[in-house]
Chains A and B, each alone.
Chain A
Amino acid sequence: MHKTPLLDQLESGPYPSFVTDLKRLAATKPQVDDLLGQLERSYKEKITHWKHGGIVGVLGYGSGIIGRYSDLPDEFPGLEHFHTMRINHPSAWFYTSQAIRELCDIWDQYGSGILNMHGATGDLIFLGTTTDNLEPCFQALTHKGWDIGGSGSAMRSPSCCVGPARCEWAMYDTLEACYELTQHFQFDLHRPSYPYKYKLKFSGCPNDCVAAVARADQSMIGVWRDDIKIDQSAVQAYAGGELKPRAGATPYDKLDIKADVVDLCPTGCMSWDGKKLTIDNKNCNHCMHCINLMPQALKPGSERGVTILIGSHAPILEGAQMSWVIVPFMEFEPPYDELKELTEKIIEWWAENGKNRERIGELILRLGMRNFLEAVELPPVPQSVWRPRANPFFFWKQADFDAEAAGRKYYTTK
C-alpha cells in the first residue's frame, strides 16, 4: 500500500471521508491503491497527474466515455488507463437496492469500483477502467437495462427534480418528460453531431431544484397561470404559531404573515388584515416565496404548464449566461410532442449556424435573438425581456413592412 500521510489528514472530522472509503477498496483493488498514491503526489506537488484525455469509446457510440491516462504510469501502473464511463441515471435518481447492487457487481468486475453518485450533469459515474474493459462493461450494462450517457458535442443526459414522485409543487411530470426526451434523443446522445454540448433540465416549479436556469442549454421550469389556492384556516394556524414556517425548517418559531410573507412579496400583490390573506393573482409573478413559507396553506393554481428558457452555461467562453424565457407557457402532457418539435428546430438552427464549440446561448448573442426566434417560429413576447431596448438602433425587415401594409402590428406574428 502506498503511504498517504497528507490524505490521512482527511480521515478525521465529522463529514464522511472519501479517503477512508477509498482505502477500504484499495485493500482489494491495486488500481485504487495507485489512485490514492497518485492523489497523495498531487497533494504534495499541488498539481494534477492526469494527462489530457484520449479518444476511447464503445462500438458505434462517440460519447459516454471519457479517456483518462496517468502521467506517472510507471509509478502507478494501475492508472495507465483509468477511463470514466457515464451511466445515464434514472429520472430523479430513484433506485432500488437491487439495481445498485447489479451496477456494483458489473463495476467490480470491469472497473475500479469507484463511483460518483452523481456527476455534474446527472449521470452515475463509473470512475476508472481500462480500454479493454469498456466494451464488455457496456454490454453487461445494456443486458441489465442500463445505457451510457452523453459526452462531448452531443445531447447530454437530461435530468430532472423529484417532481410528482414526491413533491406537491410539481407543475408537470418532470420524471416522464425527462425520460421521454432522453429516449427521443438517444441517437444524438450517443453520437456527437452538434456544435457543442446541449443540456436539458426539468424543474417542476420556480424553486428550480435542478438549477435548470443556470445549468441547462434548454431549461423547462414548471409554472401555473391561474390563482394560488388559499386555505384560510391553515393561514390562521400559521399566524397563531400552530404551524411552523417553511414546513418547520427554519430557526423561527412563528410566521409573521405581514413581515415575512406580505412585505417580502416581490410584487406587493398580497394583503393580510389579521384574519384573511388576499392575493391579487393577476399581479403574482409566481416566485414561490409565500408558498414555500406556508406549504399547508397555499398551493399553486390548477392551470399548469411549463416555461421554456434557453441558453445557460458556465463562464467558458463568453462569460456565464442564465437561460432566457422564450416560451412563457406551454401546455405540457405526454408525449410532449410540442417540446420535441421545438427542441429539434432549435438544434437544427444551432447545428446550421453554430461554430465549433459554440453553445446555443452564445450563438443567439452572436446572431441576435430575432434571428433565433424567427428560425424556430416563436413570436416576440414581453415576458422574454426584463425591459425593452434603450437605443434607437433597431432593424426593419421586409416582413415588417409586409405586416404593416397588411394592417398588422409588428409585434405579433399573426
Chain B
Amino acid sequence: MAEAERITDIGPPHYSKFLPPIIKENYGKWVSHEILEPGVLKHVAESGAELYSVRVASPRIITTIRAREICDVADKFCDGYLRFTSRHNFELLVTDKAKLAPLKEELAKRGWPIGGTGHSLTNIVHTQGWIHCHTPAIDASGIVKSVMDDLFEYFGTHQLPAQVRISLACCLNMCGAVHCSDIAICGVHRTPPKVMHDKLRHLCEIPTTIASCPTGAIRPHPDKTLKSVIVNEERCMYCGNCYTMCPAMPCFDPEKGGVALLVGGKVSNAKSPPMFSRLAVPWIPNNPPRWPEVVSTIRKILIKYAEGANKYERVAEWIERIGWEKFFEVCDIPFTFQHIDDYKFQAYDTYRTSMHFKF
C-alpha cells in the first residue's frame, strides 16, 4: 500500500453507478405509486415500467455478516440492487413482479420484518448510546429494540390515523436531531458536572470551557493557583456542553440520568407546518435491559393518539386540536414545573395569552 498512489478528496462515488437499469431508464419520469401492502411499494413510470420496493426493518447497527446476507438476498431477487432509507430501513428493488412473492417468503423465513410505509410506525431514528458514545445518559439500540418489539404490530400494518415517527437521542446534544418527531425519546442528565480540578488544568482550555456554558454557570476558580473552574449548580441544566469541551467535567449519574419524552413534532408540511416536539414526560428511570417504564409510557401515548385523532391527523395536529391540557389529562401524565419553558428566547411564546383553554 505504501508504494501505491495516495488518493484523497474524491468524494463519494457517483450514485449512477448504483442505480438499477429500470431507474436509469425512468429517472425523473415516475408518474405515480401505490402501496400494495405494508412495506411493499409499486412505482409506475411514464413508459409503463413498474418498480417494486420492499422495505425491511433494520436495527441500524449491523455487522458485515448481516450486510452480506442482505447482499445475498438482493442478488437473488433484485439483481443486486438495494438502497437504505433515511430512517435506517433498507429497500430491496425488484423489477420482476414474479419475484415479489418468493422474496417475501425468503424475508419471512429469515425473520426480517417488512413494513414502515404509510400509516405505520416506522423505524426509530437513533444514536449510538452506550455502544459507542462518550456522553450518553441512556443506551440507544436497546431502547429502540424494546419499543419496536412492544409496538411491532404497528410496523407491519397501516392502522394509525397517520404516520408516526419516533426518534431517540441518547443525550441532550441530540446528534439524532429528534426535536421534530411525533414522539422523541431523549436521554437526560440531571446532575451538574463534577469538576476534576487535578485533571482540568491538563486537559482543558479554561476560556473555551467557560464560554461553552449556555447559562453562564461556569466561572474561573477563585483560587488561581488551581487553574480550574467552578460551577454555579443552580444555573446548570445538565446539557453536558462543558463536558464536550472539557473531559474533566463529567456529569453522569447512573440513578439520576434518565429518559425524557417529547411529543408532537413533525417535519412534513402536509396540512400544518413543521413543528417542534414538546415536553410530555420530563423524566422516566433508565432501566435496562428492557426499559419497561419507557415502553409502557410510549404505548400509552400512541394508543391515546390512535383512539383520539381524526383521520389523517398527526400527533401534533391531534394535540393542538384538543389542547395540551387535554393531552395531559387523556394520557394521565402529570404537568410539572419542568413543562413550563424558561429557557431563553423560545420561552415566551409558549405562555398562553388568551381565554381559549379548556377545563
Q: Which of B32-40, B97-105, B225-233, B297-305 contacts A (4 or more CB under 8 A)?
A: B32-40
**Is B351 part of the binding interface, using a Cβ–Cβ cutoff of 8 Å?**
no
**Is B276 part of the binding interface, using a Cβ–Cβ cutoff of 8 Å?**
yes
Assembled-state Cα–Cα distance A214/B74 (Å): 33
**Is A401 part of the binding interface, using a Cβ–Cβ cutoff of 8 Å?**
no
Contact in complex: B86, A13 (CB < 8 Å): no
Smallest CB gap from A244: residue in B: B34
Contact of B15 among A92, A101, A115 (CB under 8 A): A92
Residues of A within 8 A of B149 (CB): 12-15
**Is A405 part of the binding interface, using a Cβ–Cβ cutoff of 8 Å?**
no
Assembled-state Cα–Cα distance A46/B214 (Å): 27
Contact in complex: B127, A43 (CB < 8 Å): no
Q: Which of A160-168, A270-278, A345-353, A369-377 contacts B (4 or more CB under 8 A)?
A: A160-168
Contact of A213 among B180, B208, B241 (CB under 8 A): B180
Contact in complex: A165, B133 (CB < 8 Å): no
Assembled-state Cα–Cα distance A61/B11 (Å): 13
Residues of A within 8 A of B146 (CB): 10, 13
Assembled-state Cα–Cα distance A118/B34 (Å): 26
Q: Which of A135-143, A335-343, A406-414 contacts B (4 or more CB under 8 A)?
A: A135-143
Contact in complex: B28, A164 (CB < 8 Å): yes
A313-327 contact mask (Cβ, 8 Å, vs B): 1 or 0: 111111110100000
Contact in complex: B61, A319 (CB < 8 Å): no
Contact in complex: B173, A289 (CB < 8 Å): no
**Is A183 part of the binding interface, using a Cβ–Cβ cutoff of 8 Å?**
yes
Residues of B within 8 A of A32 (CB): 63
**Is B202 part of the binding interface, using a Cβ–Cβ cutoff of 8 Å?**
no
Which A residues lie at the B interface, using CB under 8 A? 6-7, 9-10, 12-19, 21-22, 24-25, 32, 35, 39, 42-43, 45-53, 59-61, 68, 82, 84, 88-101, 103-104, 107-108, 113-118, 120, 122, 127-128, 136, 139-140, 142-143, 145-147, 157, 159, 161-162, 164-168, 170, 173, 175, 179, 182-183, 186-187, 189-190, 206-215, 246-252, 259-260, 264-266, 286-289, 292-293, 295-296, 299, 313-320, 322, 355-357, 365
Provide a sorted-by-A list of 19 A–B residue pairs whose CB atoms are within 8 angstroms.
Answer: A21-B63, A47-B254, A48-B135, A52-B243, A82-B132, A94-B15, A97-B75, A139-B4, A139-B7, A161-B86, A167-B33, A208-B268, A214-B180, A250-B119, A295-B32, A314-B177, A316-B239, A318-B214, A319-B346
**Sample of 20 more A-B contacts, CB < 8 Å, known A97-B80, A247-B35:** A9-B290, A10-B146, A21-B63, A22-B61, A47-B254, A90-B17, A94-B83, A114-B63, A159-B86, A165-B19, A168-B30, A183-B11, A214-B265, A214-B274, A247-B118, A248-B34, A248-B118, A249-B118, A264-B271, A266-B272
